[in-house]
Amino acid sequence: MNLLNDGVLVSPVTMRAIDDTPRPKMTDRYAVIGNPISHSKSPLIHALFATQTGQDIAYEAIEAPLDGFFDTIIRLHCAGYKGCNVTVPFKFDAYESASELSERALSAQAVNTLKFSEDGIAGDNTDGAGLVRDIEQNCGVQLRGKRVLLMGAGGASCGVVLPLLTAGATLTIANRTAQKAVDLADKFLEFRIRGGSYDELAGAQFDVIINATSAGLTDSEVPLPAGIFAANALAYDMMYGRETPFMKFAREQGATVADGLGMLVEQAAEAFYIWRGVRPLTAPVITQFRL
Ligand code: ATR
């Protein structure tokens, strides 16, 4: 659906003041859109990328009303913004708003990066690429041939399945509601993948276990059996900024533990590359956030 061309949502918008006055200096403008958004680290990450690469951009955080995502996108496009990142709860709305979708966006059925041009709105999803890059480049674990367990079958999982598979992982998806894991795995039958319940994991071992559930938000345990980590395994939690029960369990089981900060920076770097054609160094930015 191309909202700019099909005239679905072109009424004037008043819910938020977006600076749409023409500017003589051609600083390219970008934004991250979410609700809530005040916590977002994206403006700082992109400011650091811009300084590092000498790119002349401005990047701001915009809180769109829960029913106002499409209006916000149209306003930004019309005001000359070059693109935006999209976060919770608008990634599916962003998917719907794009006139063109990348393969990874189609696979995820969610979009976190929009690029605006005269031709329309291109939608992409950089979450999976960010995860794979963080695991391989920053954690030093190559995924090809590895037994990977992905916990969860919600939005966070959907975005990373195809990139994990194309990186060569043999993937198992486990979910509290087992049928959702089965259904997600069934979309990728040409790959080595299976989906099911946590109970079915008894006796299995994995080289990499990724927590893509929201259980950590409520400090809930995830139902993993002892002994599930293979020797030298990596436990990766997409959350950052707190020790989740999954991280604690993984440490007790002898796994190496990583949080999702690297993924956050890597998915931003991938978006920056889509917009600017320049790939920033991520290590200094990750280091700065860890200080
Ligand atoms: P997100 O977009 O963050 O993935 P979501 O789509 O609501 O959010 O999905 C949350 C995921 O975390 C789901 O896989 C959910 O399992 P269900 O599909 O059974 O609901 C999982 N999840 C949430 N709380 C959990 C818990 N306490 N234990 C195990 N899995 C949990």
Chain segment 162-183, per-residue pLDDT in tens:
999 999 999 999 999 999 999 9
Mean per-residue pLDDT, 38-63: 97
91 is annotated as an active-site residue: yes
Confidence of residue 37 (pLDDT cuts 50, 70, 90): very high
Whether 128-259 and 28-125+264-290 are alike in CATH topology: the answer is: yes
* Cβ burial, residue 272 (10 Å; 0-12/13-18/19+): buried
Confidence of residue 78 (pLDDT cuts 50, 70, 90): very high
Mean per-residue pLDDT, 81-92: 97
Instruction: Please say whether the beta carbons of 62 and 72 come within 8 A.
Output: yes
- 144 has a pLDDT exceeding 80: yes
Confidence of residue 12 (pLDDT cuts 50, 70, 90): very low
- 121 has a pLDDT exceeding 70: yes
- 260 has a pLDDT exceeding 70: yes
- Structure-block tokens of residue 41: 């680290």
Which pLDDT score is estimated for 216? 87
Identify any residues that bridge with 100 across adjacent strands, giving them in sequence order: 122
Its pTM stands at 0.91
Q: Is residue 153 lining ligand 1, measured as CB closer than 6 Å?
A: yes
What percent of the chain is modeled with pLDDT above 70? 91
Mean per-residue pLDDT, 20-46: 89
**Distance from chain centroid for Cα 11:** 31
Which pLDDT score is estimated for 19? 63
Pocket probe mutation, ligand 1, options 125, 214, 219, 263, max atoms within 8 Å of Cβ: 214
- Structure-block tokens of residue 117: 């041009």
CATH 3.40.47.10 matches 128-259: no
Which pLDDT score is estimated for 9? 32
Which pLDDT score is estimated for 198? 97
Confidence of residue 25 (pLDDT cuts 50, 70, 90): low
Distance 176 CA to ligand 1 centre (A): 7
Which pLDDT score is estimated for 13? 35
* Residue 127 parent element (H or E): helix 127-133
- 38 has a pLDDT exceeding 70: yes
Catalytic residue among 91, 115, 146, 248: 91
- Structure-block tokens of residue 183: 């259904």
Q: Is residue 239 lining ligand 1, measured as CB closer than 6 Å?
A: no
CA 50/CA 80 separation, integer angstroms: 19
pLDDT digits (tens, 9 = 90+) for 187-199: 999 999 999 999 9
Domain ranges of the chain: 28-125+264-290, 128-259
Mean per-residue pLDDT, 92-110: 96
Which pLDDT score is estimated for 7? 30
pLDDT digits (tens, 9 = 90+) for 281-290: 999 999 999 9
Average pLDDT, the chain: 92
Confidence of residue 26 (pLDDT cuts 50, 70, 90): confident
Q: Determine the atom of ligand 1 nearest the C-alpha atom of 88.
A: 2
The fold of 28-125+264-290 is Rossmann fold (3.40.50)
